[in-house]
Amino acid sequence: METIQLLMHGFAVAMTPTNLMFALFGAFIGTLIGALPGLGPANGVAILIPLAFTLGLSPETAMILLTSVYAGAMYGGRISSILLNIPGDEPAMMTCLDGYPMAQNGKAAEALGMSAIACFAGTLIGTVGLIMLAPVLARFALTFGPAEYFALFVLAFATLGGIAGKNPVKTVVAAALGLMISTVGIDIATGTERYTFGLLKLHEGVDFILAIVGLFAISELLFFIEQRAGAGRKMVRLGKLMLRPRDVFSALPTLFRGGILGFFAGVLPGAGASLGSFISYTLEKKYLGKRASFGEGDLRGVAAPEAGNNGASSGALVPMLTLGVPGSGTTAVLLAMLISLDITPGPLMFTQNAEIVWGVIAALLIGNALLLLLNIPLVGLFVKLLSVPPMYLLPVVTMVAFVGIYSISHSPFDLYMMVAFGVAGFVLRKLEIPLVPIILGLLLGPEMEKNLSHALVLSDGDWSILWSSPLAIGFWVVAGLGLVLPYVIGPVLRRRVRKTMEETSASTN
Amino acid sequence: MTARGDRILGIGLFVLAIVYGWTAQQWPEPFGAAEGIGPETFPTLLAVVLALSSGYLIVRPDPDAQWPRGRTAVEILLSIAILVVYSLLLEPLGFVIATTLAVGTLCWLMGARPVPAFLTGLIGAVVVFFLFNNLLALSLPAGLLGMV
């Protein structure tokens, strides 16, 4: 009952004209970013963060803007999968399997329409799950002490590579690097100057916003230059939308199953949206069996992964909002925004910043409805924008990143740092060192150190306090599994994905 | 199948871990420090973790990625140079001129023809400049144009 009241309050926050406007703007820009190949949700949100700052938005409005961008980017990802057979990001991969054959059969409009509905259903189910699960988890998390938090942070890093991650050691390296960067600056507890090289600019530490924009946006530009994807691509013709209500109805159970599976995949640490769309697609394929023609352009083959993908993206907000532990790159970027707004995500946020939490959740529901309305009639517009050659687009996006960072501090030094992070991001991505743990390390470093020192003060310097409660031990065990499992399950899972992809595309050719 | 990339990175990070950890040991003990934890505790822990994991990379590296060579490498270095020069000239030249030059050169580097490339830069720069300075009241440097 209390939840419903809080949600109603959230709607009141989200429904103010300013917030609605920013939700609409975010949804539009997000779809655009998601639709453009090469720009994923994490980059999109990262580029918009400085803008949210320089506009001096209130915390609620800033978070509403960014969550709308997030949701929009998940919607947009499907457009290039269906029309170009190029997934905008990893989770959109499964949508190519049936979406592109449909487009080749002249049913591009139906695929786009169905997938928009699937996005809507997935986000709706995911958000309802979030509303039900988050307060419970937040209440549970209130019982955590500093030792449990320290173990939880370790768990977050350990599972970040995901069970499909390639080399867990590289995740550890990345996490250590991020945490090391977070120690730059004056130590709050003792006032000791750490790793500042005497530079005044570094006294307050490295601003993670410029690190994020550099690592994601600038390195993307360098990757593009290397790959030279070239000019605009040949576009499939969009036919008239002929989506019959009957088709939508027959896909409803698929949407329902996909959304729920996706939600749980999103909540699980490290699993994320890629796993969400993969298991929804494969389980649906198995479940429907001969009653469907997956891989040849079945409507339900578009519905399942998109519902799973979007369910997962809402699910990933659960650990981010309740524990302050993001499950994916994009939620890590959202977390950065919260921390920069001086809001500490975690269980206390539900009591101390209730209007933000519930405003964001309400905005997610409103944004989702807006996105559906935007996406069905305006899909033609987004399709047109897809033909903008990236050689014009990426430099302009880079400029926007520069403007955003510059207008926060008016300091060229920050721009140099951003470029340096961009170059580092390029080199690290080449060496398959994941960037998200670096960001997460930067973000969680201060909290992690604070919890470590609180725990050690409580125990008079006895380190065994870190693994002295059953809950903390549980976290350490899961963290250990998170590092070991990729060696065991990773290759199997990757083989599975490849097999499914091959089988499905073999049956079409 | 070479694995130089990971090895070089591993060695670099190992050295970093040593330097980082050693630096932490040099800090004076702060007055009234709590039991067992000081400013160096957390960095020392991180140095150990990084030293161990980078050691693993040296011993068991992954196969190498394809590094850009020849023309592509030059182009990447050039574009990094453009970004640095852009940061350097943003204030003295002013936003519009610096951005036109930077975006134009980048588009051109990526294979656009010069005229549309610099036109994209100019239009983008002017639009963003007016948007920021007039609508959002955030000041971007006018530079040379401000003196006219």
Residues of B in contact with A221 (CB under 8 A): 79, 106
Tokens standing for B4?
């130089």
Q: What is the pLDDT of residue A473?
A: 92
pLDDT at A231: 42
Q: Can you tell me the distance from the alpha carbon of A59 to that of B120, in angstroms, rounded to the nearest whole number?
A: 34
- Burial string for A345-356 (b: 16+ CB within 10 Å, else e) reads bbbebbeebebb
DSSP per-residue codes, A348-394: THHHHTHHHHHHHHHHHHHHHHHHHHHHHHHHHHHHHHTTS-HHHHH
Query: What's the DSSP call for residue B13?
Result: H
Listing DSSP states for A113-162 in one string gives HHHHHHHHHHHHHHHHHHHHHHHHHHHHHTT--HHHHHHHHHHHHHHHT-
pLDDT of amino acid A38: 65
Closest-CA distance, B115 to chain A, in angstroms, reads: 12
Judge: A172–B57 Cβ closer than 8 Å, yes or no.
Answer: no
> Which residue(s) pair with A186 in the sheet?
A193
In angstroms, what CA-CA distances link A494 with A95, A263, A274, A491, B21? 17, 21, 12, 5, 37
Q: If DSSP codes are grouped into helix, strand and coil, which group holds residue A186?
A: strand
Which residues face A194 on adjacent strands? A185
DSSP state of A218: I
Residue partners of A5: CB distance under 8 A and separation at least 6: none
Q: CB contact, 8 Å: B42 with chain A?
A: yes
- The answer to whether B114 faces chain A, any CB pair under 8 Å, is no
Q: From the candidates A170, A188, A431, which should be mutated to test the interface with B, based on the most B CB atoms within 10 A?
A: A431
Beta-carbon separation of A225 and B87 below 8 A: no
* CA-to-CA dists, residue A481 to A155, A169, A333, A474, A476, angstroms: 9, 13, 25, 11, 9
Please name the residues in contact with B95: beta carbons below 8 A apart, sequence gap of 6 or more.
Answer: A403, B125, B128, B129, B140, B141, B142, B143
For B49: left if phi > 0, alpha if psi spans -120 to 50, otherwise beta; the answer is alpha
Judge whether A11 is closer than 8 Å to chain B, CB to CB.
no
Phi and psi at A498, nearest 5°, equal -65, -40
Closest C-alpha to A450, from A154, A150, A27, A181: A150
Given a cut of 70, whether residue B30 has pLDDT beyond it is no
Q: How far apart are CA A73 and CA A378, in angstroms?
A: 15
Helix or strand holding residue A100 (H, E): helix A93-104
| pLDDT surpasses 90 at B148 | no
pLDDT at A162 (0 to 100): 59
Question: Quick check: A431 and B34 CB within 8 A?
Answer: no
Q: Is B52 helix (H, G, I), strand (E, B) or coil?
A: helix
What digits encode the pLDDT tens for the residues A218-274?
Answer: 888 888 888 765 444 555 666 666 677 888 888 888 999 999 999 988 887 665 677
* Contact call for B54 and A173, based on CB within 8 A: yes
Option in A167, A224, A394 nearest B62 (CB): A167
Q: Which residues, in sequence order, are bridge partners of residue A193?
A: A186
The pair of structure tokens assigned to A413 is 């030094």
- Nearest-CA distance A95 → chain B (Å): 28
CA-nearest of A485, A460, A463, A484 to A472 is A463
B 53-112 residues with CB below 8 A of A? 53-54, 56-57, 62, 65, 67-68, 72, 75-76, 79-80, 83-84, 86-88, 90-91, 95, 99, 102-103, 106-107, 109-112
Q: Is there a contact between A394 and B132 if contact means CB atoms under 8 Å apart?
A: no
**Rg value, chain A, Cα:** 22
> Is residue B22 exposed (0-12), middle (13-18) or buried (19+ Cβ within 10 Å)?
exposed
Of A372, A378, A384, the residue nearest A75 (C-alpha): A372
State whether residue B13 sits within 8 Å of chain A by CB. yes
Q: Is A461 on the interface with B (CB under 8 A)?
A: yes
Q: What is the largest CA-CA distance in chain A?
A: 72
- Across the interface, whether the CB atoms of A398 and B42 are under 8 A apart is answered no
Distance from CA of A307 to the nearest CA of B (A): 34
pLDDT of residue B18: 93
- Within 13 Å, how many C-alpha atoms sit on residue A273's CB side? 34
Q: Phi/psi zone of residue A486: left (φ > 0), alpha (ψ -120 to 50 degrees), beta?
A: alpha
The total number of residues written for chain A in this structure: 509
CA–CA separation, A415 and A395 (whole Å): 15
Cα dihedral value A9, A23, A46, A182, nearest 10: -10
Q: Which residues of B53-80 are buried (b: 16+ CB within 10 A; e: fewer)?
A: bbbbbbeebbeeeeebeeeeeebbeebb
Closest CA to A225 of A435, A426, A431: A426
Judge: B86–A402 Cβ closer than 8 Å, yes or no. Answer: yes
Report angle CA B41, A212, A315 to the nearest 5 degrees.
90
Tokens, residue B82: 């453009």
Q: Cα separations (Å) of A383 from A72, A107, A115, A233, A309?
A: 15, 15, 14, 11, 21
Q: How far is A479 from chain B (nearest CA, A)?
A: 15
A338-343 CB contacts, 8 Å cutoff, 24+ apart:
A338/A63, A339/A208, A339/A443, A340/A49, A340/A53, A340/A208, A340/A209, A341/A59, A341/A62, A341/A63, A343/A59
Give the model's pLDDT for residue A227: 76
Coil vs helix vs strand at B97? helix
The token pair at B66 is 């394809």
Amino acid symbol at A505: S
> What pLDDT does residue A495 have?
76
H or E element, residue A414: helix A412-430
Residues 6+ apart with CB under 8 A from A21: none
- In 3D space, the residue among A120, A166, A161, A69 whose CA is nearest the CA of residue A309 turns out to be A120
CB of B41 within 8 Å of a chain A CB? The answer is: yes
Q: How far apart are CA A331 and CA A336, in angstroms?
A: 9
Q: Which residues of chain A have pLDDT under 50?
A: 230-232, 508-509
A276, A162 contact by CB (below 8 A): no
Region of A56 please: left (phi>0), alpha (psi -120 to 50) or beta.
left
What's the ipTM? Answer: 0.90
Q: What is the dihedral of CA A299, A302, A307, A310, to 10 degrees?
A: -150
Quote the minimal CA–CA distance from B147 to chain A in Å: 20
Paired strand residues for A185:
A194
H/E element holding A193?
strand A193-194
Calpha distance A19→A31 (Å, rounded): 18
pTM equals 0.84
B34–A contact, CB cutoff 8 A? yes
* Cα four-point dihedral sign A465, A471, A474, A479: negative
Rounded CA separation A413/B87 (Å): 8
CA distance, residue A383 to nearest chain B CA (Å): 21
Chain A contact for B27 (CB, 8 A cutoff) = yes
The whole-angstrom distance between A103's CA and the closest CA on chain B is 29
Q: Contact, A392 vs B107, CB < 8 A? A: yes
The span from the CA of B124 to the CA of B121, in Å, is 5
